[in-house]
Amino acid sequence: MRLESALEIVGALKHRFGEPVTVTDVCRAISLSYQPTYAAVQALEAGGALALRKTGQRLFCEPAATPAGSLWLAHWSMEECRRAKSSGLAELSGALESRITAQVSASELVAVDPEHPSGPVAYVSDAGLGRDLPSARVEVPRRDEWAKVLAGEAGDWAVARRILLISGQQLLWAIALAAREEQRAEPAAAPAPRLQSRRSEFVD
């Protein structure tokens, strides 16, 4: 399995995070034909990075809620930041990266949502990292709020699909994967009881 192929597959799944995605869907999103895509998906599953589920003739895949799953997503996130072409985004990412020292890089959580409806938003675990950033609103989530950030207001993981992770990539993906599994385990809301119409007490 080529590293580049594996990263493209993981990237395609990141951009559909939280959705059911078939191997055919992944194949359409990347530059590989079906057989090499299928072989790479199987290799990633064997390594614990992907979870596969067959429904009828359709084979669904997604990042697994495992250390390997979060590690591969972290690798893709670093590659995605490297490929970002917007000069404004590069300036913002560079400003954030320059503030993260080697001593604290493992514990700092830093991410940018470049396509937020109200404009770019930088999420940082330390308010000091967000001071005087160019062209971005800054938010400082508590550690227990990051899953909500990645899930987005609608809870559909739209933010996780578009966000660029700059520091703490593996931890952030571990948080997202665990929250995804927890969300699925929640029982569906029971329908509201129907109000019974009150019968007339008078009989003709």
Instruction: CATH number of the domain at 28, please.
Output: 1.10.10.10
Q: What is the pLDDT of residues 147-173, one digit of tens each?
A: 999 999 999 999 999 999 998 999 999
Residues 93 and 58 both lie in one domain: no
d(CA 77, CA 48) in angstroms, rounded, equals: 18
Residues 17 and 53 both lie in one domain: yes
pLDDT for position 84: 78
Domain count, the chain: 2
Residues 81 and 175 both lie in one domain: yes
pLDDT for position 149: 96
Percentage of residues in the chain with pLDDT exceeding 70? 86
Residues 46 and 15 both lie in one domain: yes
pLDDT for position 189: 53
pLDDT for position 200: 44
Q: Does residue 111 lie within any of the structural domains?
A: yes
Does position 178 have pLDDT exceeding 90, yes or no?
A: yes
Residues 38 and 10 both lie in one domain: yes
Residues 100 and 175 both lie in one domain: yes
Residues 169 and 125 both lie in one domain: yes
Q: What is the pTM of this model?
A: 0.84
**Residue numbers of the domain that contains 17:** 3-63
Q: Does residue 17 lie within any of the structural domains?
A: yes
Q: What is the pLDDT of residues 40-84, one digit of tens each?
A: 999 999 999 999 999 998 999 999 999 999 999 999 999 998 887
Identify the sign of the CA torsion 37, 43, 48, 49: negative
Q: What are the two backbone dihedrals, phi and then psi, of residue 124, each rounded to the nearest 5 degrees?
A: -135, 150
